[in-house]
Amino acid sequence: MSDSQQTDPAADPVPGPLPRWWSRPADPVGAHEASVPAPRAEPPADPDPAPGTDTDPVAAPAPAPVPQWWSRPADPVGAHEGSVPPPRTEPDTDTDADAEPRYDPWGARPLQAVDRGRAGSRRVRLRQGIVLALGTALLAGGIGGYAGVLAERQAGTRLELPQAARADRGRAPESVAGIAATALPGVVTLHVNGAKGSSTGTGFVLDGQGHILTNNHVVNGARSITVTFSTGESVAAELVGGDTGYDLAVVKVDGVRGLRPLALGNSENVEVGDPVVAIGAPFDLSNTVTAGIISATGRPITAGGDKGDGSDVSYVDALQTDAPINPGNSGGPLLDAKAQVIGINSAIRGGDGGDSSGQQRGSIGLGFAIPVNQGKRVAEELMRTGRATHPVIGVTLDMDYPGDGARVGEKKGEDGKPTVTAGGPGARAGIRPGDVITKVDGVRVHGGDELVIKIRAHRPGDRLTLTVLREGRERTLEVVLGSANGS
């Protein structure tokens, strides 16, 4: 028997042409030779087969046709070689020994294995795509949420602009801040309750015994006085004495330690244009500091006069300043560049008419202070005796005289007293009724008020030179000021 299969056409029909829906992969010949096993060799034919053994190829049925619903995957040959068993090979009947082995596409196992691998791969890739999409969505959402939170935080963050660093708070002693720092511990605010209601004023410490100087109109008629220091501590105070003509008063506090008296300057040294600082409690705003200059010196002003009989009129040869002074500043210190007191703030020239309640309007830059030289003398007298003395020349003036100067009355007064006091300073100097006094120490006066102010700017016993106009002729007289008790 021959080693090869028989090729009798009657016994083994020649297979028909390959199905048209199958085609050989387009890979070059030999691309998968390394991975496809060599064809299996058939064992040699038994020369004497056992009875009953069918070796006739005619009896072998032809392979069943492959179903048309199956198609080979489009993947290149070898994509699933790791999971698909090698195809079975049949002995080649071609006499050409060099023909390459033919791949059997009709084997059941390779077809089923390739089909299962492809479906599993699709499911895996589908799951991977879903996971990738979900991961991308979660990542994008997380980034967007973080960006939103960051933007919200930035929007809610407090805006900070560039700012200078904190510097040394020390100031030059002659600066406004330096003057205020020196003087404020010695300035007080007074709250007064009286028969006509309550009022607020200012004062400053004179000595370590608790004496405080202020305006008389601040404490006049007081039933109780409370003094508040710059530290906020408040204590009760008692009235020592006051004088209406000078509009000055002294009060005293007891049991207070660490008092800071203010240094007193000399008002004779003040010049127009000198810088000044005012401290007070305008409209009850304690420890208010304002600054300005000396606008004028020797400015004659009168204040008060509410009673109508002249007994409450104050006569001041004032220092004028443009430092803002308002109601409540009364009695406070006017300080020079050395933080020394040169005046006691007492009056302002407000806007015309006042307001509807009758209260005085605020500052318009015309403030007036009692010179400290006059304040010092009056304060000393009030501290010693509770009363102040006034310098006088012993004459009665005609306050209705329309001309320039101060005229001595020609007739006796309503009380029958002569207009020139017998034996008084004026009589001894040679003043007569009807004389018109035009100058005091060479400074012209324009009315009776100015003459009183110029005289009260001096002490009793001071010597003055008066220029008198009599019968059209000027005369010069020397007068030594006398003394009278004030009110």
Q: Is 336 a catalytic residue?
A: no
Residues 304 and 247: their CA atoms lie apart, in Å, by 9
DSSP secondary structure, 323-346, as one string: S---TT-TT-EEE-TTS-EEEEEE
DSSP secondary structure, 117-151, as one string: HHHHHHHHHHHHHHHHHHHHHHHHHHHHHHHHHHH
The residue type of 410 is E
CA 234, 227, 342, 290 dihedral sign is positive
Q: Give whole-number Cα distances, 373 to 125, 214, 309, 384, 436, in Å.
A: 107, 15, 28, 17, 29
* 305 membership: H or E segment, kind and range: none
Which residues neighbour 404 within 8 Å (Cβ) at sequence distance 6 or greater?
Answer: 438, 446
- The torsion angles phi and psi of 139, rounded to 5 degrees, stand at -65, -45
Residues 398 and 408: their CA atoms lie apart, in Å, by 6
Residues 247 and 344: their CA atoms lie apart, in Å, by 10
Q: Is 217 a catalytic residue?
A: yes
* Residue 125 half-sphere exposure toward CB, CA atoms < 13 A: 6
Provide the token pair at 50.
């056992």
Residues 36 and 21: their CA atoms lie apart, in Å, by 23
Q: Which residue among the candidates 191, 211, 217, 390 is catalytic per the annotation? A: 217
* Residue 367 half-sphere exposure toward CB, CA atoms < 13 A: 34
Q: Give whole-number Cα distances, 339 to 178, 185, 444, in Å.
A: 8, 12, 33
Q: Is 191 a catalytic residue?
A: no
Q: What angle do CA 453, 454, 459 make, to 5 degrees?
A: 100
Provide the token pair at 60.
């072998």
Q: Which residue among the candidates 199, 330, 346, 363 is catalytic per the annotation? A: 330
- CB of 389 within 8 A of CB of 351? no
So which residues are the catalytic ones? 217, 247, 330
